[in-house]
Amino acid sequence: MITSKQRAFLRSMANTIDTILIVGKGGVSKEIIKQAYDALLARELIKGKVLETSEDDVKKVAQIIASETNSDIVQVIGMKFVLYKKSKKDNHIECPRNVK
């Protein structure tokens, strides 16, 4: 679970990355889940898009992929979503810590 401060930091980072995951009318398939999981392992932060031809809602798609990949939803805006999964091996992204 990420904090609001970490979420804001990750949202700012997501502005500069390209959309690499596209969900079309086929919906969320095993291939989409595998592609998202592999991308999260390599990058930690990914941006996805749900095409208008998809029958599923963007929030629903983001929730399905996040639960299947054990990642966190950073944001959902319009037809795009951002997911984050901290790497256990190579930390590419250093999130701010929760300071009390």
Each residue's pLDDT tens digit, 69-80:
999 999 999 999
Q: Give bridge partners of residue 80 from the DSSP assignment.
A: 49, 77
Domain boundaries 4-84, corresponding CATH code: 3.30.110.60
59 CB neighbour count, 10 Å cutoff: 12
Each residue's pLDDT tens digit, 19-70:
999 999 989 999 999 999 999 999 999 999 999 999 899 999 999 999 999 9
Q: Which amino acid does the sequence have at 77?
A: I
Q: Is the pLDDT of residue 99 over 80?
A: no
Evaluated on CA atoms 71, 83, 4, 100, the torsion sign reads positive
Q: Is the pLDDT of residue 98 over 70?
A: no
State how beta strands 45-50 and 72-77 pair.
Answer: unpaired
Q: Is the pLDDT of residue 90 over 70?
A: no
The domain segmentation of the chain, as residue ranges, is: 4-84
